[in-house]
A and B are shown apart, each in its own frame.
Chain A
Amino acid sequence: MKREAYNIEEQSRRSFIKRMAAASAMTAASALLPDITFAKSKETLQSGELQWKKSPCRFCGVGCGLLIGLKDGKAVAVKGDPASSVNKGLCCVKGYHSVMALYGKDRLRKPLIKRNGKWVEVTMQEALDLVASKMKETIAKSGKDSVSIYGSGQWTIPDGYVATKFMRAGIGSNNIEANARLCMSSAATGLVTSFGMDEPMGCYEDINHADVFVLWGNNMAEMHPVLFSRLLDQRLKRGCIIIDLSTRTTRTSLAADKTIQFKPQSDLAIANAICYELVKNDWVNHSFVEKHCALKKGKTDIGYGLEDNFQFTDEPTSIDWKEYENFLSDYTPIKTAEISGVSVKDIKYLASLYGNANKKIMSLWCMGPNQHTRGTWMNNLIYNIHLLTGKISTPGNSPFSLTGQPSACGTVREVGTLTHLLPHGTVTNEEDRKHAAHIWKVPVEKIPAKPTYHTVEMFRALDRGEIKFMWIQVTNPMVTMPNLKRYRDGAKKEDRFIVVSDVYPTPTTDIADVILPSAMWIEREGMFGNSERRTQHFEKMIEPQGECMSDTWQIIEVAKRMGHGKLFPWTKENHIEEIWKEYSLFHEGNKHGIAPYEVLKANPGIQWPYVNGKETKWRYHSKYDPAAKGESFDFYGKPEGKAWIWARPFEPAPEVPDSEFPFWLNTGRVLEHWHTGSLTRRISVLHQAVPHSYVELNPQDAASMNIRTGDKVKLISRRGQIVLPASVNERGQPPKGQVFVPFFDESLLINELTLDAFCPISRQPDYKKCAIQVMKA
């Protein structure tokens, strides 16, 4: 009996009967004519039949396995893949309706070139010729660092790989960044500074083992609903505890066993207070700390990156236990209660959960600690708690940073599509450069040793005129950049040339000189890498519409036109497989080995390190990780195999409410819309559920200003203003003095108000905190 999992044909009744009839006719015929054998009727997909194929979801970083229903060359339905260990058959409303995002009537199907202020349809050949010649001309005139590529955590792995190879080995510039800088880089620098290597030690399976879940500023019920349902399921079965540690009341708060609300930015103090209590009550796992940890401190008062050309380099120095204890003495529960507004009792309760040696604990976070002007510090501090208690790298003991994009990990952090990264290691490390040059077959001098611009600085450089050409793929910075007006005005300046590859018109295509229509998701072959080091392959299931071309192939075509063709010696048919093979060379070995192409194709996702045909679920422990030496823990990313516990203090936010701008502004997502809504708003079910953005107000604040749900409210910051409808006592509820606005709506651009301050270490902006005025419009 042969069952092919992912080539499942749903038989209609008619074709079933037809086949039955054919079969019985053949049986009858062979009975009459015994000497003649009849060829078995070939089973082919007939028109009208439904076929299911596997793919990771197009939306968030959870990476649910989907089965896509295909009929007559179109994607028509979705169900959760029961074989996927991520979602076990369940999806969220975005996943179930995701295929509808392929069929918006205003899909970009033809390349467009702006001539004399008007869009003109051209052929793909013509458009690619123009992009290549413009890029060449700009390099000739202003140097190779005047051109740049700005990509995305929605890039497939092959997209990101060819982009980084093209920029570094072809053009010879580190001018490549991706929007994951805006959502993930604090998670990455947090892991690198604490453990010496990026990507989490644990995985989603920790959910099945943990007794306590602490959600740090994470509205998981809306933002990672499928994983949150796994938490709820475990609580139902095993009686776990869910703690919602947050700045406003959300759907997650209602589901949690306990909600603890803190003042914006004070999470830094709370994390340190937990450590203070662990030490004070002697809940520290001393033998673990002695054997496996080193104590460090770095620079303090490190700034906020608000000025152009801001530079910062941290200087780690060793400290001893006494010094660390001394540092913690600033964070007694009483002092911390003053900073954070959290009661002494709740701080002690939190510490007791982490300190209880009999409880396995998982910390989960996403944009709260990551989009934070001390984002790297926040990540370090959460790791501190897990390191002090030794609750790490074992099933159920897991500090875990969730991701927002389907391949922020796979494409941006692992392939290295940030200015300082290579597919393995960093550009500043000579060995890593040599390794890359060897695989790419280029002289090592080709790859510059100095990183250039991180995302915010790249857009500042575009504004200043140092960058004159930018190619933007799969992302919508004219909705997502903080302090938006400056960067929009910069991009629109004379003498700047912007190429945008996308699937729908957006505010970013509005500022473009050339628009390239991209083949989306299952219209081409690719891979995504999710939050738990899982790589998932999807095949091309449907034909791209019009002249749409994959982002990978667009870059290869332009590279060929610029004389870099020998870097990409592949055909349209084999290039994804060949790219994967070449990319695998970077990660050879038991620390980051990745699965062969055939294995990826045959499974609903494979976790790396993939060593000797086996996935590694937990890193840094010799019981689970073949790269770890010794009896138990081995944090091999750092010298002597020791993870770093960092003394990182509380420092205030750059812009705090005052008498002139008395409210905190927090921005984020809603369950129904994903990122800038360019896909989800074209899905009728999702658009109709949340048709426009709004501002969530505290009911008391609303009452004092006589504002009711639906009333128009004006928000003003030092950078801009916006009028939008109020939402009072609806989905979420901010505390007094705070408001929340979703950022998906391109006609109500909240980023006109946000501040472009960032974490000096990760260079990730803080979209969660700035000061504004609120008034009835």
Chain B
Amino acid sequence: MTVKPKRKYLILLFISLMVSAIVILDLSMIQEQEAARVEGELYTTPEPIPSEAGVFRRSEFAMDYNNMPDDPQHQRSLDTYYKNRAYSGAPPTIPHIILSESGMGGKSCLQCHQNGGYVAQFNANAPVTPHPELINCKQCHVPVKSNTFFKESSFTRLEEPEINNQALPGSPPMIPHALQMRENCLACHAGPAAPKEIRVTHPERVNCRQCHAAKPTLNIEWTRPTTETKE
């Protein structure tokens, strides 16, 4: 029996519609279950595995990053990267004068920080934000208008994660930091503003987490389920 090509497309269309219907139903059921979830036991985190949102963002620039010439004069280092963070993982402060105290995302900060590039005014390359959809930037990133302390503090600063953390000699290094809000690797690991120590040598292989696993942040016990064994 041969199927006419037209009919084939029609069948394909129906199949895809059915699949999407099932997916949508499934999703809404899961959502409903989640809304009703209020039990007494210690609950499991809904997101033990880092979110995939934004993983491939910026991959369209990968070839440009690959062909980018070195610019040691304006290169950032991990030192400067950590300098404006209270601890590893804290939102960085704004190390330059801000053009508008009241400006919002798209109209101010994102002009430079969405795609990065050299900014003559500051003689530096603008770092790229991994989360350009959050436009109330100064909710988390604040300027530095004074170098004084109101009172001294004895806060212990968290050590920065080690960068060469291969599990085996020669194996791809693991991701040593939390990925929440930093799911997009290329934003910080490629491009002219990427700190030299963590700049990736192969930005064109955009599927980063294919080789670089998130270092376990959860202490997961796993035991094989007991099954009947041969006598």
Mark A residues whose CB is within 8 Å of B. 1-11, 13, 16, 43, 50, 69, 71-72, 74, 76-80, 82-83, 89-93, 96-97, 99-100, 102-106, 221, 225-226, 228-229, 232-233, 236, 249-251, 254-255, 504, 595-596, 598-599, 602-603, 606, 610, 613-615, 671-672, 677, 681-691, 730-733
Pick from A106, A221, A677: contact of B139, CB below 8 A.
A221
Question: Judging by beta carbons under 8 Å apart, are B136 and A236 in contact?
Answer: no
Cα A13 to Cα B162 with chains together (Å):
9
The interface centre, meaning the residue of B44, B102, B150, B165 with most chain A CB atoms within 10 A of its CB, is B150
Pick from B41, B89, B221, B222: contact of A77, CB below 8 A.
B89
Complex interface residues of chain B between 187 and 231 (CB less than 8 A to chain A): 215-222
Question: Judging by beta carbons under 8 Å apart, are B221 and A2 in contact?
Answer: yes
Contact A97-B90, Cβ < 8 Å, known A74-B156, A254-B102? yes
Contact with A along B89-106 (1 / 0, CB 8 A): 111010000000111100
The interface centre, meaning the residue of B107, B165, B219 with most chain A CB atoms within 10 A of its CB, is B219
Smallest CB separation, B94 vs chain A (Å): 8
Question: Judging by beta carbons under 8 Å apart, are A90 and B157 in contact?
Answer: no
Pick from A5, A104, A226: contact of B45, CB below 8 A.
A5
Q: Does B133 contact A (CB under 8 A)?
A: yes
Pick from A92, A93, A100: contact of B155, CB below 8 A.
A100
Chain B residues within 8 Å of A13, by CB: 162, 165, 176, 215
Cα A104 to Cα B165 with chains together (Å):
34
For this complex, 10 residue pairs linking A to B, each with C-beta atoms less than 8 Å apart, are: A7-B219, A69-B158, A76-B158, A82-B47, A83-B45, A93-B91, A103-B154, A105-B153, A251-B104, A689-B145
Q: Does B119 contact A (CB under 8 A)?
A: no
Question: Judging by beta carbons under 8 Å apart, are B147 and A688 in contact?
Answer: yes
Q: Does B39 contact A (CB under 8 A)?
A: yes
Question: Judging by beta carbons under 8 Å apart, are A93 and B219 in contact?
Answer: no
Pick from B101, B135, B157: contact of A232, CB below 8 A.
B135
Count: A-B pairs, CB below 8 Å: 204
Cα A402 to Cα B136 with chains together (Å):
19
Chain B residues within 8 Å of A614, by CB: 36, 38
Q: Does B138 contact A (CB under 8 A)?
A: yes
Cα A730 to Cα B38 with chains together (Å):
46
Nearest residue (CB) in A for B103 is A254
Nearest residue (CB) in A for B176 is A13
Question: Judging by beta carbons under 8 Å apart, are A598 and B218 in contact?
Answer: no
Contact A76-B157, Cβ < 8 Å, known A104-B151, A613-B38? yes
Question: Judging by beta carbons under 8 Å apart, are A3 and B48 in contact?
Answer: yes
Chain A residues within 8 Å of B139, by CB: 92-93, 221, 225-226, 228-229, 671
Cα A8 to Cα B156 with chains together (Å):
20
Nearest residue (CB) in A for B140 is A93
Cα A96 to Cα B89 with chains together (Å):
9
Question: Nearest 5 A-B pairs (CB), nearest first?
Answer: A689-B142, A225-B139, A5-B45, A691-B146, A681-B150
Contact with A along B122-155 (1 / 0, CB 8 A): 0000000000011110111111111111111111
Smallest CB separation, B125 vs chain A (Å): 24
Nearest residue (CB) in A for B146 is A691
Smallest CB separation, B77 vs chain A (Å): 21
Contact A77-B87, Cβ < 8 Å, known A9-B219, A730-B101? yes
Chain A residues within 8 Å of B152, by CB: 104-106
Question: Judging by beta carbons under 8 Å apart, are B42 and A6 in contact?
Answer: yes
Q: Does B17 contact A (CB under 8 A)?
A: no
Nearest residue (CB) in B for A595 is B38
Contact A689-B104, Cβ < 8 Å, known A3-B45, A16-B216, A83-B46? no
Q: Does B180 contact A (CB under 8 A)?
A: yes
Pick from A76, A104, A229, A671: contact of B153, CB below 8 A.
A104
Contact with A along B38-82 (1 / 0, CB 8 A): 111111111110010000000000000000000000000000000
Q: Does B21 contact A (CB under 8 A)?
A: no
Q: Does B19 contact A (CB under 8 A)?
A: no
Cα A108 to Cα B48 with chains together (Å):
39
Question: Judging by beta carbons under 8 Å apart, are B93 and A8 in contact?
Answer: no
Cα A77 to Cα B89 with chains together (Å):
8
Q: Does B88 contact A (CB under 8 A)?
A: yes
Pick from B44, B89, B91, B134: contact of A3, CB below 8 A.
B44
Chain B residues within 8 Å of A613, by CB: 38-39
Question: Judging by beta carbons under 8 Å apart, are A731 and B102 in contact?
Answer: yes
Question: Judging by beta carbons under 8 Å apart, are B151 and A77 in contact?
Answer: no
Question: Judging by beta carbons under 8 Å apart, are B86 and A5 in contact?
Answer: no
Question: 16 additional contacts, CB 8 Å, given A595-B38, A677-B150?
Answer: A7-B219, A8-B45, A8-B219, A77-B158, A79-B89, A82-B47, A93-B141, A96-B140, A103-B153, A104-B153, A105-B153, A106-B151, A251-B136, A255-B136, A682-B150, A687-B146
Cα A90 to Cα B156 with chains together (Å):
23
Cα A550 to Cα B152 with chains together (Å):
24
Chain B residues within 8 Å of A10, by CB: 217
Pick from B45, B151, B156, B221: contact of A76, CB below 8 A.
B156
Chain A residues within 8 Å of B176, by CB: 13
